A and B are shown apart, each in its own frame.
Chain A
Amino acid sequence: MNCNEAAALVAAHADGEIDRLRGHSLTKHLRGCAQCAEKHEAVLALRRRLHAEVEYHLAPPALKQRVVSALAAAEPSFALKAPPPVSRWQWMGAGALAGCAATVFAWIIGTALIDARARDDLAAEATVAHVRATLGNHLVEVASSDQHTVKPWLSARLDYSPPVRDMAASGFTLVGGRLDYLGGQHVATLVYRYRDHMVDVFVRPRTAVSPDLGLRTLRGFNVARASGVAFDWVAVSDVSADVLAPFVETLAKEQ
């Protein structure tokens, strides 16, 4: 083996990536050639220093937790694909019946697959919607800190007009809004920012059966609920409970 051949194999040898036969003839060459031996040793030395000195970054525990809860939360949402908001004119088309049947079919299959808690529990569904929106970077469909922009956008897409207020005075800045599909109906979602935290507030007309009020913690997120005169409010966020609960109560009271 000459120096050119050896040069091509030195790194592979240091990486333990050459077969025994070529490894043998390379070793023989290195014994007799100081120049190639030095190159080989330089690669080994660099490898040793990289192992000893360069930090291996371990995943922070908080990331691990977030991933676990996100995967747990995402799973039902993968089974249950909420139908996209459909303009009512489309229903008048010839394909309406087929579309309707397909939606119903998807709904039945989806409902059969998701776990019972998410099916029956608005809080769990709201948490899933919050996680999905956060992970998908799909928090807002209408981005505006102006309540007079967000409200008409939502009203135009729903059969009710949700109250939208900027709460900047109490630290909650309005970021925008989007539509979600909760408890079998489209609902308005108001998105607020509190410091570095995103807060989703789901608003729907008050139902005959009010949801359980008060606080819950689901998959690491706080869920606070309140009922006003005309609307039910559900806020989901990683903001601490003692901040989130008064916030949603204020929204419900002063609509």
Chain B
Amino acid sequence: MPAHARFTDLVVQHLDAGYNLARWLARDADDAQDVVQDACMRALKYADSLQGNDARAWFLTIVRHAFYDWCRRNRPSEIAHDDGAAIDAAIANPALGPEPSAIRGAETRALSEALAQLPLQFREVIVLRELEELSYKQIAKVVDIPVGTVMSRLSRARALLQHSPLLHAIRGQSFGGES
């Protein structure tokens, strides 16, 4: 069935993107696989809703929905806590950062760690912008929020990363000097 084969190709083409998003949201390889597999079956069901050419954003939207449904079932507390309090805690986290002498490798892991610890609503916009390289408009569509909200969430998320106690402050000048 050629139509069906085309659909499978399309899903496979965007499977890496879907898995990467699910992996960063779920923060677990096995859970991410479950989420993506569920998303693929949903995609088949909602194949009619694919309009235009932006299949990647369409598939990422479905993966995101599949993740949140999965999360409500398996980790309801994570969504419940994803509010202002968690964000304040993330900012005020008294955990000690790495020693100034920490090697570059530890710093590298630290940035991934800092991203993994961001509250969900900030983590998802960073992953969509920086790893999937979606535009503001595409992110707005995937997350179903206005473009203005995309911008404010991104800016909040970046501030959290820049000031994460896990990292040395990421400043333009110091970075320029290191690289």
Contacts from A to B (Cβ < 8 Å) = 11-12, 15, 17, 37-51, 53-60, 63-64, 66-68, 70-72, 74-75, 78, 115, 135-136
Is the beta-carbon distance between A135 and B38 smaller than 8 angstroms?
yes
**Is B108's beta carbon under 8 Å from chain A?**
yes
Return chain A residues, CB-CB under 8 Å to B155: 11
Binding site for A on B (CB under 8 A): 1, 4, 7-8, 11-12, 15-16, 18-20, 23-24, 29, 32-33, 36-38, 40-41, 44-45, 107-108, 111-112, 115, 126, 129-131, 135-136, 151, 154-155, 158, 161-162, 170-173, 175-176, 179
Contact B130 A71 (CB under 8 A): no
A56, B162: Cβ atoms under 8 Å? no
A66 close to B37 (CB less than 8 A): yes
Which single member of B19, B23, B44, B136 contacts A15 (CB below 8 Å)?
A: B136
Contacts A/B (CB < 8 Å), 26 sampled: A11-B151, A17-B136, A38-B172, A41-B173, A46-B161, A49-B111, A50-B131, A50-B161, A53-B111, A53-B112, A54-B112, A55-B112, A56-B20, A57-B19, A59-B15, A59-B18, A59-B36, A63-B33, A66-B37, A67-B36, A67-B40, A70-B40, A70-B41, A74-B44, A75-B1, A135-B41
Question: Which 6 residue pairs are nearest across A and B when measured between Cβ atoms?
Answer: A41-B172, A59-B19, A45-B175, A57-B23, A50-B130, A53-B108
Q: Which single member of B15, B130, B170, B171 contacts A64 (CB below 8 Å)?
A: B15
Q: How far is the CB of A59 from chain B (nearest CB, A)?
A: 4
The residue among B11, B41, B171 with the most chain A CB atoms within 10 A of its own CB is B41
A42 to B29, CA, bound (A): 31
Minimum distance in angstroms from B100 CB to a CB of chain A = 17
Which residues of A have CB within 8 Å of B12? 64, 67-68
Measured CA separation A120–B108 after assembly (Å) = 56
Closest partner residue, chain A, to B41 (CB atom): A135
Chain A: minimal CB distance from B69 (Å): 11
Task: Give the shortest distance, in Å, between B27 (CB) and chain A (any CB).
Answer: 11
When C-beta atoms are compared, the residue in chain B nearest to A48 turns out to be B175
**Interface of A (DSSP majority class):** helix
The interface residues of chain B lying within 8 Å CB-to-CB of A58 are 16, 19-20
CB within 8 Å for A74 and B170 given contacts A53-B111, A57-B24, A58-B20 = no
Q: How far is the CA of A75 from the CA of B131 in the complex (A)?
A: 32
Bound-complex Cα distance A38 to B179 (A): 16
Specify which of B8, B170, B179 is in contact with A71 (CB 8 Å cutoff).
B8
CA distance A64 to B11 in the complex (A): 10
Nearest residue, chain B, Cβ from A59: B19
Among B37, B111, B115, B176, which residue has its beta carbon within 8 angstroms of that of A67?
A: B37
Chain B nearest CB from A251 CB (Å) reads: 29
Q: Do A78 and B44 have beta carbons less than 8 Å apart? A: yes
Instruction: State the Cβ distance, B109 to closest chain A Cβ, in Å.
Output: 8
Q: Please, which residues of chain A bring their CB within 8 A of the CB of B176?
A: 41, 45
Asked if A57 contacts B20 (CB within 8 A), the reply is yes
Residue of B nearest to A42 (CB): B172
**Taking the nearest CB of chain A, how far is it from the CB of B33, in angstroms?**
5
A70 B37 Cβ-Cβ under 8 A: yes
Of the candidates A15, A37, A68, the one whose C-beta lies within 8 Å of that of B8 is A68
- Asked whether, in the complex, the Cβ of B8 is within 8 Å of the Cβ of A72, the reply is yes
Tell me the nearest residue of chain B to A62, going by C-beta.
Answer: B33
- Cα A135 to Cα B41 in complex, Å, equals 8
Instruction: Tell me the smallest distance from the CB of A43 to a CB of chain B, in Å.
Output: 6
A143–B61 Cα distance when bound, in Å, is 33
Residues in A whose Cβ lies below 8 Å from that of B107: 53
Min Cβ gap A247→B in Å is 25
CA distance A29 to B155 in the complex (A): 20
User: For residue A63, which residues in chain B have a CB less than 8 angstroms away from its CB?
Assistant: 15, 19, 33, 36-37
